[in-house]
Structure 1
């Protein structure tokens, strides 16, 4: 037994080195490929130095498991063709400030589903080889595919819209890539919503958003604003989206670009200038227009009334 210990030690160190790139987790075939025999795996688990996460994967330590380790364990549980998908894949790509309740794994149609209480493993009929991220790391779908699938699987339209928007805002994918991926989709309950959202993200946010607001204002019987009113301040010229000069009310329709860091300061300075000159400024994010239009329209009507507007009897 004493002659075998150095061999055991070398094999364990090889396994730990291999697991370092996978959050401390290896599949059983990977462990065996490091020269660790089955009896040694059992010994390390029984002694509490390693942890068997499920039938497919082992944590080669007994400390807390980092998210990357859970991602690899989820893929191993799904089988050789499994990939992280949806919001889980976006988090693996670097999405910040987004919590995923259960790691989602997709497997191609026809593959055997390995049931797991820890992970959400499902067949995905749309999964094709080109959906896979070609870079390194844990197997996962490309960001644009992950964002769209995450939106399809979201519980609500609001959650779907938010996920796609923050993926673009945080630079994980581009609207152009989302648009190309969306062209492949023929049927889905959120297809129209996503087409409208991607159009907004592509840069039609200003004009299309204004037209949407105008349509809703007319439906309420509210007065027509002046569109794209030119103003000047110390930094140059800028345009107001919607302006009611008689009621000193400005409405700015904000697309995703207004939330980007390079635009925040300029937007704030312009709004402050308008306020200092006596105009009330309301902002309508396109996400809000999609999800809660009536609440924003209530605010517009309240702003008009505060400026002296009275609805005709």
Structure 2
């Protein structure tokens, strides 16, 4: 800006117009978490030399080429999100893991920023920025959130398409619904709007299971691999009860036969967690219900043996049915 050029007679006083332009740049930066583009800076009167001077002095720093943080020190995550979308151009949206952070679909942040752009956009991925091209960029845009990002349903379906496994993909579906961010019907409609989708049939099945009350991948695997194929009675899921003034939810409850099945999908079990689990089990037992607790290895590697144990406890509770073999090799009836 002209005011940055010293004269032989000392600093020149800026004009009213220059003052207004400087104020406008400050307002733009404030709206964008301190981030501005080169085009925005030049539109507000800064010359290329003035921008370079700010960068050289450390007053500004470069987030991406042509994208600047108008402050020094660490760049916060919200500022980086703005920098990513501005780098992608006016039609760019935060997407995938970066949109998941904003929607609180995940509790941790990832290193790279992810944006979605139209197919015709020329911006390329670069260190720290992953660019996804899509014909649905505009339809996916949330109508009011800033910085621009994909709607929560679009974000979830995006994440299912980059998941490493179908279980991880279904985990995004169940997790988003468990957190109250969306519903199975909305996700199903969004999935239906995709021309191509990996694991479409499996995702549709997963959404049906979520609608039936499965709030985790392990609960879905129990339903799909243990309960249904072995002819066990249909359980209630995520049943709420109040114990000592505190709400608790049982993963799988066979109320009529006084049995609760707890499914623990955590990979690690710190001491406090084990203590809490024992306390929950003891409270359940004192309430007159038996408790069986299973983890990933049980449900995925030994579903027939799990079904046999559950059937045995159901019979103790008065169930008059019998489990059925899920395959010629299944030994559920022999256990």
TM over 0.5: yes
Say whether residues 1:216 and 2:212 are aligned partners: no
Shift in Å at residue 135 of structure 1?
A: 0.6
State the SS of the aligned residue for 2:133. strand
Which residue of the partner structure matches residue 177 of structure 2? 168
Distance 1:282 1:303 in 2: 8
State the SS of the aligned residue for 2:123. coil
Distance 1:177 1:49 in 2: 46
Shift in Å at residue 171 of structure 1?
A: 3.0
State the SS of the aligned residue for 1:123. strand
- After superposition, the CA RMSD in angstroms is 4.2
Say whether residues 1:63 and 2:76 are aligned partners: no
Shift in Å at residue 132 of structure 1?
A: 0.7
Say whether residues 1:293 and 2:300 are aligned partners: yes
Evaluate the alpha carbon distance shift between residue 252 and residue 294 of structure 1 in structure 2; reply closer, same or farther with a 3 A threshold: same
> Any conservation in 2 of the 1:16–1:60 contact (CA below 8 Å)?
no
State the SS of the aligned residue for 2:194. coil
Shift in Å at residue 10 of structure 1?
A: 7.0
More displaced, 132-141 or 106-115? 106-115
Distance 1:108 1:226 in 2: 46
Say whether residues 1:21 and 2:31 are aligned partners: yes
> Any conservation in 2 of the 1:210–1:241 contact (CA below 8 Å)?
no
Which residue of the partner structure matches residue 30 of structure 1? 40
Higher helix share: 1
Distance 1:5 1:156 in 2: 63
Shift in Å at residue 302 of structure 1?
A: 5.0
> Any conservation in 1 of the 2:154–2:190 contact (CA below 8 Å)?
yes
Distance 1:167 1:215 in 2: 24
More displaced, 274-283 or 194-203? 274-283
State the SS of the aligned residue for 1:81. coil
Shift in Å at residue 26 of structure 1?
A: 1.0
Distance 2:303 2:224 in 1: 15
> Any conservation in 2 of the 1:24–1:65 contact (CA below 8 Å)?
no
Evaluate the alpha carbon distance shift between residue 39 and residue 211 of structure 1 in structure 2; reply closer, same or farther with a 3 A threshold: closer
Indicate which of 138, 142, 162 corresponds to 1:153: 162
Structure 1: runs of 5+ lacking an equivalent: 219-223, 255-267
Shift in Å at residue 54 of structure 1?
A: 2.1
> Any conservation in 1 of the 2:82–2:147 contact (CA below 8 Å)?
yes
Evaluate the alpha carbon distance shift between residue 304 and residue 136 of structure 1 in structure 2; reply closer, same or farther with a 3 A threshold: closer
Say whether residues 1:81 and 2:91 are aligned partners: yes
Which structure would you say has the larger RCO, counting Cα contacts within 8 Å and 6 or more residues apart? 1
Distance 1:225 1:178 in 2: 28
Which residue of the partner structure matches residue 177 of structure 1? 186
Distance 2:71 2:234 in 1: 66
Distance 1:227 1:123 in 2: 43
More displaced, 157-166 or 47-56? 157-166
